[in-house]
Structure 1
Amino acid sequence: MKPSLPSEFLHRPIAHRALHDISDQRPENSRAAIRAAIDAGYGVEIDLQRTRDNRAMVFHDYDMTRLTGQPGPIQQITETQARAQTLLHSDGEGIPSLEEVLALVAGRVPLLIELKDQDGAMGPDIGALEADVVSALKDYEGPVALMSFNPHSVAEIARLAPHLPRGLVTSSYEPKVELLPQAVCDHLRNIPDFDRVGASFISHEVIDLDRPRVAELKAQGVPILCWTVRSLEQEAEARKVADNVTFEGYLAEHPA
């Protein structure tokens, strides 16, 4: 029996890449942004990439230029080097490891963890990141859920840690946006792998929430999260379909 998404993920708005604001030295996925989200009572969403030595780091991009000013893939440096790599617009913070973030959150708020695709085209060349994530979560206590665009990644999480709630990140899958082959986008667009990978929920692109497949899953009782909401007005519209929102750029409303 697949695990359910903890109810906490449906009651607290989730800060996308944590509650980031570079004007306050809180870049995305930083410790400062995570602390701010916790202090505000929001859930936290983070992204994971792996280093050359297969350690899970809290970082969104494959290339480090946008977030650190230093070019090159994060997969080509070690964990030690990543921790020493200063994030732009921060108070001297390095890239945090997953283990650091788990210790920081410590179960105080729901933690939604996205594993970025490590295959390059949503294929089966994955495994190292998933293994390190599951290892890091072995003794973690608190509401946590894992998700990925790549169904192979979600299936691997189910194999390694069947007790951990996992879901699929889903979207309209436009090839020019996702930088993926048309055939891959056409396959993934209607979420065909939901049952196969033992997913417990989806987190769907907010501008595509009217997709019939989303309505079908919702009718089956599947929790629907969504990304990325950027205003109170968009949040109100999204909540007509989604059970909860992942937001950035404003302060989401806490449900009564």
Structure 2
Amino acid sequence: MPVPPLPNAFLIRPIAHRALHDGNRTRAENGRLAVEAAIARGYGIEIDVQPSADGDAMVFHDYDLGRVTTATGAIRQRSADALANVSYRTGEVGIPTLAQICDQIAGRVPLLIEIKDQDGMMGSDIGTLGSSVAKVLRDYEGPLAVMSFNPHAVAEMRDLLPDVPRGLTTSDFPKKDWLLLSDARRAELASLDKVEAVGASFISHKITALDHPPVLALKERGIPVLCWTVKSAAQEIKARKVAQNITFEGYLPA
């Protein structure tokens, strides 16, 4: 099966991490105002998706609602209709569905979607989130790519949306950041040896580990390297020595 290339648009415009939020003061991450702010400045947009209780793909990063909204508990325990009435700490109301955000962006800027791991151990129990994402994206028009830390989720997108570019979100997977994973699983993920197996056309790697030998090897092979998350102009200069584009927050890249 041919690997769809990452559109060049993803290598030109800096990508706003969780859209162009402002630290959840007035524009919530992954929210509609942050999306519109990114579009207004011409940035690409990275968003995350989690499932609702009734299976809709919701644009939200965390597994729990409490950090960025006034609600508590797991997002997957509430229906999409209930989540539409949840208030962010910014005062905005309504966690959007992926369909709503796709309608809002409408191809105006590149859209990068991270499918959050549903297994808990980066394994094969990925649930129905991928199929919900695929249903929304099947008719989307505009620069589009999907990615996940979990190789099983990326492989599923290869099968469900073979023409949509897909990538692995990657890291050197230090133990302090991945306490639930075994040493063997962390080493396997850090090796980046699933890139070819899942048909990934790019990676998005942790900024502090861009000198990781497997990253440099992929770059040498011509596989695009994006990175997360750049938080200053000084970090951007350093990151671009390896990465072809950045995902950023907390400042405005040129």
Q: TM-score per shorter chain, which class? A: over 0.9
Match of 1:3 in 2: 4
Partners of 2:129 and 2:200 lie apart in 1 by 18
Provide the secondary structure at the position in 1 that maps to 2:49.
Answer: strand
Which amino acid in the other structure matches residue 117 of structure 2? Answer: D
Q: Identity of aligned pairs, percent?
A: 53
- Alignment gaps of 5+ in structure 2: none
Deviations 1:9-59 (A, max 9, x none): 000000000000157610100100000000011000000000111110000
Distance 1:233 1:211 in 2: 20
How far residue 6 of structure 1 moved from its aligned partner, in angstroms, is 0.5
Q: How far 1:158 sits from its partner (Å)?
A: 0.3
Q: Which runs of 4+ in 1 moved over 4 A?
A: none
User: Which aligned pairs between 1:74-153 and structure 2 lie closer than 5 A?
Assistant: 74-90=75-91, 92-153=92-153
Over 3 Å counting, the alpha-carbon distance change for 1:221 and 1:23 in structure 2 is closer
User: Aligned AA for 1:10?
Assistant: L
SS of the equivalent of 1:45 reads strand
Asked if structure 2 preserves the Cα contact closer than 8 Å seen for 1:127 and 1:153, the reply is: no
Once residues 163 and 180 of structure 1 are traced to their aligned partners in structure 2, the CA distance between those partners, rounded to angstroms, is 33
- 1:223 deviation in Å? 0.4
Secondary structure of the equivalent of 1:246? strand
Give SS of 1:66's match: coil
Alignment of 1:128-207 (within 5 A): 128-181=128-181, 182-207=183-208
Paired residues for 1:40-55 under 5 Å: 40-55=41-56
SS of residue paired to 2:234: helix
- 1:183 is displaced (CA, Å) by 2.5
Cα RMSD, aligned residues only: 1.1
User: Matched residues in 2 for 1:112 and 1:6: separation?
Assistant: 11
Counterpart secondary structure, 1:196 = coil
> Kindly tell me: are residues 156 and 23 of structure 1, through their superposed partners in 2, closer, same or farther at Cα, counting changes over 3 Å?
closer
SS in structure 1 opposite 2:67? helix
Whole-Å separation in 2 of the counterparts to 1:117 and 1:23: 23
Where does structure 1 lack aligned partners over 5 or more consecutive residues?
Answer: none
- Aligned mates of 1:150, 1:23 — CA distance in 2: 27
Q: In structure 2, give the amino acid aligned to 1:47.
A: D
Q: What residue in structure 1 maps to residue 16 of structure 2?
A: 15
User: Is the contact between residue 30 and residue 93 of structure 1 (CA under 8 Å) also seen in structure 2?
Assistant: no
Distance in structure 1 (CA, Å) of the matches to 2:231 and 2:36 = 20
In the alignment, the residues of structure 2 paired with residue 33 and residue 208 of structure 1 have an alpha-carbon distance, to the nearest angstrom, of 28
Q: Which amino acid aligns with 1:131?
A: S
Is the counterpart of residue 30 in structure 1 residue 31 in structure 2? yes
The verdict on how the C-alpha distance between 1:227 and 1:69 changes in structure 2, with shifts beyond 3 A counting, is: same
Query: What SS does structure 2 have at the residue aligned with 1:88?
Result: coil
Between the aligned partners of 1:249 and 1:178, the Cα distance in structure 2 is 25
